[in-house]
Amino acid sequence: MVATCPIMPIFHPRHGEPREDKHLYSDYYDSKSINKFHITKQSALLLTRMDTYKVTESIKEILVIDDYGMHIMFDCSLADMVALDEQLLKIGTFFVRKNELELDLQSKNFPLVDRFQLIQDLYVCELEYQFAKA
């Protein structure tokens, strides 16, 4: 449809630049040896897959289920989880140090803030926030 519209430019499939000289690339599109959509057989099998998700409100759990009924986790979600973990630790450490500098009048040997309780509170609040977004 884009190729037949006189207003829309035709773009080169590899370089993404508008093509003004159609006669140079006509044999490129007409050749049978090149896949018309540049899709491999393996990726064509994945195009029809539909992942669904299931939300459990009581335990605040979101599960992604593929076509075969298996629970899956995407690679990018693991990378996002590691990055979020590091960010929460940095935020918690910043505020612990800031609070200890203000309260460090009596004791210098014992920590004044319960670090484990703080990180648990951060994780619980982040869980509720992410679940509300979902």
The model's confidence at residue 134, banded by pLDDT at 50, 70 and 90, is confident
Helices (H), 1-114: 26-30, 41-47, 75-103
Q: Which residue has the higher pLDDT, 68 or 87?
A: 87
pLDDT of residue 25: 47
What is this structure's pTM? 0.54
pLDDT for 35-83, tens place per residue?
A: 556 777 777 777 777 889 898 889 888 899 988 888 988 888 899 999 9
Residue 13, SS3? coil
Mean model confidence pLDDT for the chain: 75
The structural domains of the chain, with segments of one domain joined by +, span 10-38, 73-133
Residue 72, SS3? strand
pLDDT of residue 104: 63
31-46 burial, b at 16+ Cβ within 10 Å, e below that, comes to eeeeeeeeeeeeeeee
The model's confidence at residue 14, banded by pLDDT at 50, 70 and 90, is low
pLDDT for 94-113, tens place per residue?
A: 988 887 777 766 566 666 77
